[in-house]
Amino acid sequence: MRKILRGFAPSLVVLAIVAAACSNNSTTSGGGSATPCTSDIKVGLALDVGGLGDKSFNDSAYTGLQKAIQDGLVCAENTKYLEANATGSNRGENVTNLAEAGYDLIVGVGFAFSPDINEIAKDYLNQSFAVIDGYATCGTACGLTNNADAIPNVADLTFTEQQGSFLVGAAAALEAKKLNCDTVGFLGGQTGPLIGKFEAGYTAGVHEVNPDIKVLVQYIGDDVTAFNDATKGEALSTGMYNDGACIIYHAAGASGAGLFNAAVKADKLAIGVDSDQYLTASADQKPLILTSMIKRVDVAVYNAIKSVGEGSFKGGSTVFDLAHGGLDYSKSNTELMTQDIIDQLEKYRQEFLDGTITVPSKP
């Protein structure tokens, strides 16, 4: 069995997510004819720093909610979203407000909601809570107050980001070979184990194709405001381009907009994250976005809403991996994502499914 570096086999359990509400922001369904809604559940999203319009993590969660509205799993008038402030200092307040308002499912969209939901959920045991990328159920082992048995109404929804990042790392190396380039880059948001998984997988994918490529790494900061600093994202990306990187992959939330700006100025390539960022890029950015690592936060939110409606919500930890559709890569830029690259990435995907390849979760 070929093994790139130590990995893990995630356990898959039934999804559940909880949403948070905003006093002045009712959601509305997207285009198309919606399924008639008879559901009486209430769902809200507590969005993290960057808020709606980040074209990344928060927007993906909102897309899942909109799909649930479209399919009649929840009625639009029973949904709300609440955005964190610029520092995220009001996360706990937002979650509490949603719980007090009687929302059946409250989803904290981001790992930073974990401590607050670990504390709050115990007082609202008849309501469901979930944390995207969360560790709320880790309990005292992670320095939190309540262990999982005290908060059975909380689900942590996590992803094997290193697997999807491996695929786009391989794409970067394959494209770099065509460009006769020996350096690529990685732009991270907040330092720590979560974004470390993106970096680790990306670097492993790059080096699987070409062990000799240099991978430059920059992080924007050490707190959650790093995900909402496009100015610094652009400056760090420009520095890596100036140091020879021909392609940079970001895992930096709304700060990734800075990478795309830098790519245009340098006329070099970029890789998006969470959503297919080619679809939301400006006309001058689109040709330079090689691919995106798609993290199906939308699917997690949708399934959580469905489970609450069906009465099958379960607390604990749920892991979304490549084998179960939790991650993917985009092929929207047909000029750059040519069939030879796609064929190689699909070969790697099959090796993941066969269990013959694993990737590290730490840099």
pLDDT digits (tens, 9 = 90+) for 54-112: 888 899 999 999 999 999 999 999 999 999 999 999 999 999 999 999 999 999 999 99
One domain for residues 94 and 114? yes
Cα–Cα dist 225/228, whole Å:
5
* Tokens read off for 62: 């909102």
Q: Where are the alpha helices (DSSP H) in 161-278?
A: 161-178, 193-209, 230-242, 256-266
- In this structure, the dihedral spanned by the alpha carbons of residues 162, 165, 171 and 173, taken in order and rounded to 10 degrees, is -70
Query: Which SS3 state, helix, strand or coil, does residue 42 take?
Result: coil
Other beta carbons within 10 Å of 92: 17
One domain for residues 95 and 132? yes
State residue 168's pLDDT score.
Answer: 98
301 is a domain residue: yes
End-to-end alpha carbon distance in the chain: 22
215 is a domain residue: yes
State residue 336's pLDDT score.
Answer: 98
One domain for residues 120 and 168? no
pLDDT digits (tens, 9 = 90+) for 35-63: 788 899 999 999 999 999 988 889 999 99
| Mean pLDDT calculated for residue range 277-304 | 96
Q: Is 359 within 8 Å of 5 (Cβ atoms)?
A: yes
State residue 15's pLDDT score.
Answer: 32
The label of the residue with tokens 């020879």 reads 244
How many separate domains does the chain show?
2
Helix, strand, coil shares, percent, the chain, to 5: 40, 20, 40
One domain for residues 127 and 266? no
State residue 37's pLDDT score.
Answer: 87
One domain for residues 250 and 262? yes
One domain for residues 169 and 150? no
Cα–Cα dist 64/339, whole Å:
30
pLDDT digits (tens, 9 = 90+) for 22-33: 333 444 444 456
pLDDT digits (tens, 9 = 90+) for 109-147: 999 999 999 999 999 999 999 999 999 999 999 999 999
What is the CB-side half-sphere exposure of residue 306 using CA atoms within 13 A?
14
pLDDT digits (tens, 9 = 90+) for 143-202: 999 999 999 999 999 999 999 999 999 999 999 999 999 999 999 999 999 999 999 999
* Tokens read off for 6: 């130590």
pLDDT digits (tens, 9 = 90+) for 211-249: 999 999 999 999 999 999 999 999 999 999 999 999 999
One domain for residues 225 and 76? no
One domain for residues 232 and 272? yes
| Structural domain for 308, as ranges | 43-160+297-324
The label of the residue with tokens 């649930």 reads 68
* Tokens read off for 10: 């995630």
State residue 35's pLDDT score.
Answer: 74
- In this structure, the dihedral spanned by the alpha carbons of residues 49, 52, 58 and 62, taken in order and rounded to 10 degrees, is 150
Q: How confident is the model at residue 272 (pLDDT cuts 50, 70, 90)?
A: very high
Type of residue numbered 120: I
Task: Evaluate if residue 2 carries a pLDDT over 60.
Answer: no
Cα–Cα dist 350/348, whole Å:
5
Q: For residue 160, count CB atoms less than 10 angstroms from its CB and return exposed for 0-12, middle for 13-18, buried for 19 or more.
A: buried
Residue 262 belongs to domain with CATH number:
3.40.50.2300
148 is a domain residue: yes
Cα–Cα dist 246/223, whole Å:
28
Output Rg (C-alpha) for the chain, integer angstroms. Answer: 20
Q: Where are the alpha helices (DSSP H) in 33-143?
A: 57-70, 91-100, 114-120
262 is a domain residue: yes
State residue 34's pLDDT score.
Answer: 65
65 is a domain residue: yes
One domain for residues 182 and 119? no
